[in-house]
Structure 1
């Protein structure tokens, strides 16, 4: 018997299409996005498992407050006795929600729906109070670090990270073009269809672009620093979307007798707040160490592609071939709906490992303020 046999298992994973802010999903609130995915997963549960649904945990960064997870659970038609919890670890919120669900299930058996949601299109505008009788000042973003600490925006931080790790502009553009090419190929082959819960007439991701070459991307100007290498073309978008997994304890999984992904290990780590994109590195190392594995053992690697330069810097630090990352396209092509993105990684692992009995997967995401979240899974059942 393996020491991992009693670890919780992900038995289903679904997501919405990912929309570009202001486009296909612009009219939908965070709860509007999450509720159909929650409903789809709940409807797939066997009656006994559905009766043992304990909680809904969702990550969210920029929503309206009011416990989006609870609102979405009720909107999905779940019984009023099923509570909801909303967590915020910024871009890592969706994967943090899954990690929290795993911890909950190790303490108490049952079923937990966990993931994340973000509607950048409907996020409320907030303002600082007037000072000395002047007008209110629009609140741009929360601080990622306290006063006295360097707290750069994510774009300039990615530029500095790429420079320090010797990641040149050409490599970033080539990586971004490859992400789009992979996503377009997967989309055209129907590779995303089974995981997507259509929202009305919207059933495909907005962002993947065909024919996007490194040469075309080379024409774009630096987006953040005058002499920088990070551009709009080798950065992720601003996006709307939701992603949720069904997690069960090991005994429930054995009773259900369905395939799934056993969660071997999770890890959350911190790095310097002025280099937040590096959070993937220590989180990955710690999760792999806890799982007793190395990168060479992993069949599918899903890193959140916030910026090509950031992902390439993390690969350099880990000694990882970037071609192994996001084999069917990542956030550069699909988009980065902040609070959902970590859960999107879990959905993508589920889709790709379904046909690999015993295969291993790794998901990892960096977080503003200098954090990283990672999870290692193995196909089982």
Structure 2
């Protein structure tokens, strides 16, 4: 059975900087309100949902999606699935829901991602002997060491060097992201997609005063002679995002517009260059649908690092000025397991103002050398 999936509602929380505005909210309690909000927006009864799929990287374990679904008021008969594709988890959750729709397994799913870096548990390797002590670690390996498993910051710095992307260009792109995001926040461009949590109603991080001149004063963050700094890297964030995905027949029956999913793709690349995972995933969705980048009206790429986004743009022949034109993760922050879903919420909001048939692209790179992409068009 070959069904077409349609995204009919999309919401996100404000994004808080780790340790700040949303620091006391556990990950599932970030997700629950956005699940409720997308149901309300689409006019879908909780009992009509067949599955909840959420991405999460560093939560407490268990099944965040199941907990969030119950906390959000969905009945106990609705199952929940939590997926982990690291930074791509939120978008991977949505592509999983799309696959369930297309295969005819479900008619209605809620999908997205959530992350609370502020409340993430500390992790330890166990002692190696009777007299040993536990060793705390921040992340598990993304790939076998012999293949290369660089930290994302180091990898981004090396990628910028390899592609000849200098400090000034990175700082200019980062300043642009903050400028655009601050303007969008102040103009109310984000308001319709936001679900307040714990009294927080707006994204915390965008700063209009973060100019190229100020960014130029910052020291390299990952290599002594590097070009990647705290200013042209994303900030770690807390937040959640979710969408409602239904069959096209169900969308028609309910009189809902939304975004028709044309293609999703996941790709692998050399784990030494994880930031390039976006490139083959984007090429896949474009080739399969017969589109080219000039045909795509809205482009949302996860801005993990300015140099990494610019390297992907250069590889794809994409004008960086077309990417995240209301700011991206460099300004808003990067709540790892939610970020891919936030890209889709942004597509939903921006495409709502464009004519039927307008196309949107979301893509994100993943530690270990992967990328996830999604291409949609407005119904």
The normalised TM-score by structure 2 is 0.97
Encode CA deviations 1:94-137: one digit per residue, 9 max, x unaligned: 00000000000112241100000000000000111123413211
Query: 1:53 and 2:37 equivalent?
Result: no
Q: Which residue of the partner structure matches residue 118 of structure 2?
A: 121
The 2-side partners of 1:165 and 1:317 are apart by: 9
Cα distance, 1:289 vs structure 2 = 1.0
**From 61, 66, 71, the counterpart of 2:62:** 66
**From 302, 305, 308, the counterpart of 1:304:** 302
Q: Give the 3-state SS of the residue equivalent to 1:77 in structure 2.
A: coil
Q: Which residue of the partner structure matches residue 82 of structure 1?
A: 78
Greater shift, 363-372 or 109-118, is seen at: 109-118
Q: Which residue of the partner structure matches residue 40 of structure 1?
A: 37
Q: Give the 3-state SS of the residue equivalent to 1:63 in structure 2.
A: coil
Q: Which residue of the partner structure matches residue 204 of structure 1?
A: 202
The 2-side partners of 1:248 and 1:322 are apart by: 32
Q: Give the 3-state SS of the residue equivalent to 1:375 in structure 2.
A: strand
Q: Give the 3-state SS of the residue equivalent to 1:101 in structure 2.
A: helix
Cα distance, 1:140 vs structure 2 = 2.0
The 2-side partners of 1:198 and 1:291 are apart by: 37
Alignment map for 1:164-243 (pairs within 5 Å): 164-243=162-241
Cα distance, 1:43 vs structure 2 = 2.8
8 Å contact kept, 1:176–1:234: yes
8 Å contact kept, 2:55–2:85: yes
Cα distance, 1:319 vs structure 2 = 0.8
8 Å contact kept, 2:9–2:42: no
The 1-side partners of 2:40 and 2:179 are apart by: 34
Q: Which residue of the partner structure matches residue 360 of structure 2?
A: 361
Q: Which residue of the partner structure matches residue 99 of structure 2?
A: 103
8 Å contact kept, 1:57–1:87: yes
Cα distance, 1:65 vs structure 2 = 0.8
The 2-side partners of 1:45 and 1:194 are apart by: 14
Q: Which residue of the partner structure matches residue 259 of structure 1?
A: 257
Q: Which residue of the partner structure matches residue 272 of structure 2?
A: 274
The 1-side partners of 2:274 and 2:145 are apart by: 17
The 1-side partners of 2:145 and 2:271 are apart by: 12
Encode CA deviations 1:133-191: one digit per residue, 9 max, x unaligned: 13211022110002422100000000010001110000000000000000000000000
The 2-side partners of 1:183 and 1:44 are apart by: 24
The 1-side partners of 2:128 and 2:269 are apart by: 35
8 Å contact kept, 2:47–2:78: no
Structure 1's unaligned 5+ residue stretches are: none
Structure 2's unaligned 5+ residue stretches are: none
Q: Give the 3-state SS of the residue equivalent to 1:327 in structure 2.
A: coil
Q: Give the 3-state SS of the residue equivalent to 1:148 in structure 2.
A: helix
The normalised TM-score by structure 1 is 0.97
The 1-side partners of 2:20 and 2:257 are apart by: 36
Q: Which residue of the partner structure matches residue 246 of structure 2?
A: 248
8 Å contact kept, 1:269–1:283: yes
8 Å contact kept, 1:172–1:234: yes
Cα distance, 1:50 vs structure 2 = 4.3
Q: Which residue of the partner structure matches residue 334 of structure 2?
A: 336
Q: Give the 3-state SS of the residue equivalent to 2:362 in structure 1.
A: strand
8 Å contact kept, 2:114–2:241: yes
The 1-side partners of 2:43 and 2:227 are apart by: 51
Q: Give the 3-state SS of the residue equivalent to 1:362 in structure 2.
A: strand
Encode CA deviations 1:214-267: one digit per residue, 9 max, x unaligned: 111000000001110000000001110000000001110111111100000111
Cα distance, 1:293 vs structure 2 = 0.4
8 Å contact kept, 2:88–2:365: yes
The 2-side partners of 1:359 and 1:46 are apart by: 24
Query: 1:162 and 2:174 equivalent?
Result: no
Q: Which residue of the partner structure matches residue 376 of structure 2?
A: 377
